[in-house]
């Protein structure tokens, strides 16, 4: 196909939208990419080839889908907006390896979708320009369901990407950083200007790659308990870890027992949650769990 046929150009995008009488729905966070370079960076970061599959979420009018179809052995795109289904069927007609699934990814049984649509491929990556208002729930679903994923390469709000990749002791580091880094190794691929979208979003964007881990970097006795301890530790960022944990787990007791447990875990009670590494949280969570504090 020659470059003129690419969907991700301002001219072709406008032509498709006008021909189908499509109007953008703000509630669905629809922003279509119109820049070939950015699309190529997204696809390259996923490391696809004909033996691998790609799952796309929110394909829009198929600009990224088209690139994925040219690289991957099998592509499935999940689109929530019924109005886009006929457009996708039309523009993706040249690619028999692409399946379009109409539905809400948050309500979709992804394990079943993987079994039926990716049976013939070795590895699958999620590659998507995600709607910004549901970025975190979608990514957490993909990670928590432990789908057989190699990479998750997504365009998201830059501020969220910064939080996902943040290291301890920085202002962006929080419970989201720890959750994402528990399941994957995040790496910022590129920053994306507003000008490469129709319509332009009012936030800066970034492409991030999450290389999905086969095993978490720490051993925790109970994952739910671990994440509960992490979230409690960041409940109020200005408070010490001792204060945050006390209000969550020790509302009626004196502070002494908690501070003893923190010290037993090798953690100074006056530290703040954002200074603790994922390893320290694992030690602390396992110790609290052993003492019967938190989840039953």
Delimit the domains of the chain by residue range.
3-212, 223-290
- At 228 the pLDDT is 96
Query: Residue 21 annotated as binding?
Result: no
Q: How far apart are CA 256 and CA 183, in angstroms?
A: 34
| 280, pLDDT greater than 80 | yes
Q: Would you state the pLDDT for residue 250?
A: 84
Give me 81's structure tokens: 């907006």
Is residue 70 within a helix (H) or strand (E), and if so which, with residue range? helix 63-71
**pTM, two decimal places:** 0.90
pLDDT surpasses 90 at 139:
yes
Q: Which fold has domain 223-290?
A: Helicase, Ruva Protein; domain 3 (1.10.8)
Using pLDDT thresholds of 50, 70 and 90, give the confidence band for residue 2.
very low
Q: Does residue 28 surpass a pLDDT of 70?
A: no
**What is the pLDDT, as a whole number, of residue 27?**
61
pLDDT at 103: 95
Of 219, 233, 244, 225, the closest CA to residue 292 belongs to 225
Least confident of 103-117, 144-158, 186-200, 205-219: 186-200
Q: Determine what percent of the chain is predicted with pLDDT higher than 90.
A: 72
CATH 3.40.30.10 matches 3-212: no
294, 228 contact by CB (below 8 A): yes
Nearest to 56 by CA among 26, 80, 89: 80
Those residues whose C-beta lies under 8 Å from the C-beta of residue 237, and which sit 6 or more positions away, are 174, 272, 273, 274
Give the gyration radius of the chain's Cα atoms.
22
Which one is predicted more confidently, 163 or 35?
163
**Predicted pLDDT at 5:** 67
Tokens 């003129």 label which residue? 4
Judged against a pLDDT cut of 60, whether residue 111 lies above it is answered with yes
Structure token digits, residue 22: 């499509």
Binding residue per annotation — 296?
Answer: no
Binning pLDDT at 50, 70 and 90, where does residue 158 land? very high
33 annotated binding-site participant? yes
Q: Is 58 annotated as a binding residue?
A: yes
**Is 188 known as a binding-site position?**
no
Percent of the chain with pLDDT over 70: 95
The mean pLDDT of the chain is 91
| 3-212 matches 223-290 in fold | no
């Amino acid at each position: 196909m020659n470059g003129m046929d690419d969907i991700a150009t301002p001219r072709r995008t406008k032509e498709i939208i006008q021909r189908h009488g499509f109007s953008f729905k703000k509630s669905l966070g629809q922003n279509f990419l119109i820049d070939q370079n950015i699309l190529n960076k997204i696809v390259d970061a996923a490391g696809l080839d004909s033996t691998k599959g790609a799952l796309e979420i929110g394909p829009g009018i198929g600009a990224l889908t088209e690139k994925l179809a040219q690289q991957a052995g099998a592509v499935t795109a999940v689109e929530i907006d019924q109005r886009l289904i006929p457009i996708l069927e039309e523009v993706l007609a040249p690619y028999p390896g692409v399946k379009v699934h109409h539905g809400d990814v948050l309500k979709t049984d992804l394990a079943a979708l993987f079994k039926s649509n990716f049976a013939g491929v070795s590895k699958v990556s999620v590659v998507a320009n995600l709607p910004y208002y549901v970025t975190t729930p979608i990514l957490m679903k993909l990670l928590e369901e432990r789908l057989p994923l190699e990479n998750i390469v997504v365009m998201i709000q830059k501020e969220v990407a910064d939080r996902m990749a943040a290291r301890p002791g920085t202002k962006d580091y929080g419970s989201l950083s720890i959750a994402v880094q528990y399941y994957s190794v995040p790496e910022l691929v590129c920053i994306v200007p507003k000008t490469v979208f129709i319509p332009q979003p009012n936030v800066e964007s970034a492409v991030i790659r999450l290389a999905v881990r086969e095993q978490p970097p720490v051993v925790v006795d109970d994952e739910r308990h671990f994440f509960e301890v992490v979230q409690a530790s960041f409940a109020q960022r200005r408070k010490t870890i001792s204060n945050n944990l006390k209000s969550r787990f020790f509302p009626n007791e004196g502070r002494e027992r908690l501070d003893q447990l923190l010290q037993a875990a090798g953690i100074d009670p006056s530290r703040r949650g954002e200074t603790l590494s994922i390893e320290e949280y694992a030690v602390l969570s396992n110790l609290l769990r052993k003492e019967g504090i938190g989840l039953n």
